[in-house]
């Protein structure tokens, strides 16, 4: 399964991308995460649907200084497999 996530709240300048990367790697998920100019964080995550559900539950908590207000999820059809989980700039 592949999902594009748009995370809103206090998610920039608080280590949210690094947190997301570590969390995704700990679950064995592939994809990437990046900041958006509008203050949100975007992530593309690929893996088992049940594993992604657990990942999302933890993502809502975020790092200590963050606050997640909303996570928008869009399911996508994978065009080619993703490898690793990167922070994009």
Catalytic residues: 17, 35
Positive or negative, the Cα torsion across 84, 70, 66, 42?
A: positive
């Amino acid at each position: 399964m592949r999902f594009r996530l748009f995370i809103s709240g206090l998610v920039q300048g608080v280590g949210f991308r690094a947190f997301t990367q570590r969390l995704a790697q700990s679950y064995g998920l592939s994809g990437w995460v990046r900041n958006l100019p509008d203050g949100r964080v975007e992530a593309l995550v690929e893996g088992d649907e049940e594993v992604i559900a657990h990942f999302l539950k933890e993502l809502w908590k975020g790092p200590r200084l963050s606050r997640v207000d909303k996570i928008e999820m869009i399911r996508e059809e994978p065009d080619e497999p993703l490898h690793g989980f990167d922070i994009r700039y």
